[in-house]
Structure 1
Amino acid sequence: MSTPIRVVVVDDHPVFRMGMAGLLRSLDGFDLVGQAESPAQAREIVDAEVDVVLMDLDLAGESGVVLTRELLASYPDLKILVVTMHEDDVSVLAAMRAGARGYLLKSAAPEQLERAVRSVALGDLIMGQGVAERALSYVASSPAGGSGRPRPFPELTDRELEVLDLVARGLGNAAIARALTLSDKTVRNHVSHLLTKLGVRDRAGAVAAARDAGLGAGV
């Protein structure tokens, strides 16, 4: 008999977490190692023997994206499948940048979740219906999307250009920080620098300049 897939569920909502645990226990080929409601508990439970972590993005005020990055830094072979209510571009991008191998919405059917966990455990990249299209659209419209057009604003660093694109999409500093896995202070510094380099007085001026250059697509 094949070795069961060892799974940890990380979610701060007890009803959903216990429901997920019950589902996994009912399926053949899975070994539920443990449940965690916080990053602190997850760090205690997850070890090198765990195959897949089912990760929520909102953990009682803490970030599942940050926890994803931390766990993968300690256990590079770990596979993380995000299971969340968030289907916005920023959340998808942040999770995939952090190293998640899959992204499902909590509305996914049980059989879809089962397939996703099995596929992620094998190393596949899995996204739920609609999420993949949004992610591909985001990448295609980003500054590094390979459109063949000259790079706008050569005076900006790559990171500043990335921040400017998100500013032009209407994101606030907190959302940008989450998307790029940066601190709020770092984002504020980038915004300040790019305003100076662009010679504009405020955020509205930066947005206008960015959109004139083709950034902020999809808003």
Structure 2
Amino acid sequence: MIRVLVVDDQDLVRAGIVASVDAQADLEVVGEAATGAESVHATARLSPDVVLMDIRMPQLDGVDATREILEHHADTRVLVLTTFDADEYVFGALRAGASGFLLKDASVEELAAAIRAVHRGDAVLAPSTTSRFVELMLPGMPDPGRRAAAEASLTERELEIVRLVTQGLGNAEIARTVHLAEATVKTHIGRVLTKLSLRDRVQIVIWAYRNGIAPV
């Protein structure tokens, strides 16, 4: 059972999200919060697996709340819920360590799939927004020396998989592309995370662009 904390300052919106999540057999809402500050306290008290985080809230916005939660609860995943696709607040939350974002008008099935994805360590980051994300986060291009050092830190297969991760592909899609078993792809990604001391796939994307590994 995946334990979920729902954070939103609008009561009706929060109630709808809670109902949608609780309707799934493998998901359980263990708590609610109406402000960023409440979300921090609730996470400490309830230890949810996934926090569904609104961005614009009183007392403490979703960006700062995400940062504070992940500083103290490294195993918790944060999935941002937003109204606008390329909102700079969303990118701020991703910089703070969120595992991805989803629009609030997403279907119940999309929401449930996104929760499961971030819980297993995947990123929920639409390829259409990746370039904007990188533009905001990483001005300028890395120097060739930095790229060479980065490439030397991984095997050719790992580099190939990292480049596919930056394109927004999930494990199953990567497996089909490189003709490997999905479990093998998952193992490779786990090794990349360990070698580079990264938290999740969003951080792989950041690392790849920062070091000139991602295809341009």
The aligned amino acid for 2:32 is Q
Residue matched to 1:121: 119
Match for residue 5 of structure 2 among 4, 8, 32:
8
26-35 vs 82-91, which moves further: 82-91
Residue matched to 1:17: 14
Residue matched to 2:34: 37
Report the CA distance between 1:109 and its aligned residue: 1.8
Identity score, percent: 35
Residues in 2 aligned to 1:104 and 1:128: alpha-carbon distance in whole angstroms: 9
Give the alignment's TM-score, normalised by structure 2: 0.60
The aligned amino acid for 1:7 is V
Q: Tell me if the contact between 2:36 and 2:59 (Cα under 8 Å) persists in the aligned partners.
A: no
Which has the higher Rg, Structure 1 or Structure 2?
1
Cα distance change, pair 145–89 in 1 and its aligned pair in 2 (3 A): farther
Residue matched to 2:52: 54
Q: Tell me if the contact between 2:36 and 2:58 (Cα under 8 Å) persists in the aligned partners.
A: no
Q: Tell me if the contact between 2:99 and 2:124 (Cα under 8 Å) persists in the aligned partners.
A: yes
Give the alignment's TM-score, normalised by structure 1: 0.59
Residue matched to 1:70: 68
Match for residue 142 of structure 2 among 136, 143, 146:
146
Q: How many residues align?
A: 143
Describe the SS at the equivalent of 2:112: helix
Residues in 2 aligned to 1:89 and 1:104: alpha-carbon distance in whole angstroms: 11
| Structure 2: unaligned runs, 5 residues or longer | 145-216
Q: Which has the higher helix share?
A: 2
Residues in 1 aligned to 2:9 and 2:73: alpha-carbon distance in whole angstroms: 22
Residues in 2 aligned to 1:52 and 1:38: alpha-carbon distance in whole angstroms: 16
The aligned amino acid for 1:6 is R
Q: List structure 1 segments (4+ residues) > 4 angstroms apart after TM superposition.
A: 136-139
Q: Tell me if the contact between 1:24 and 1:30 (Cα under 8 Å) persists in the aligned partners.
A: yes
Residue matched to 1:171: none
Q: Tell me if the contact between 1:119 and 1:126 (Cα under 8 Å) persists in the aligned partners.
A: yes
Report the CA distance between 1:29 and its aligned residue: 0.4
CA-atom RMSD, angstroms?
2.1
Residues in 2 aligned to 1:78 and 1:29: alpha-carbon distance in whole angstroms: 17
The aligned amino acid for 1:33 is V
Residues in 1 aligned to 2:136 and 2:105: alpha-carbon distance in whole angstroms: 22
Residues in 1 aligned to 2:61 and 2:47: alpha-carbon distance in whole angstroms: 23
The aligned amino acid for 2:98 is A
Report the CA distance between 1:87 and its aligned residue: 2.5
Q: Tell me if the contact between 1:36 and 1:42 (Cα under 8 Å) persists in the aligned partners.
A: yes
Residues in 1 aligned to 2:75 and 2:4: alpha-carbon distance in whole angstroms: 13
Residues in 1 aligned to 2:51 and 2:14: alpha-carbon distance in whole angstroms: 12
Residues in 1 aligned to 2:76 and 2:108: alpha-carbon distance in whole angstroms: 22
Report the CA distance between 1:128 and its aligned residue: 4.0
Describe the SS at the equivalent of 2:102: strand
Residues 34-87 of structure 1 show CA distances to partners (whole Å, capped at 9, x for unaligned) of 110012322332137310000011013631100000011110111000001132
Report the CA distance between 1:134 and its aligned residue: 3.1
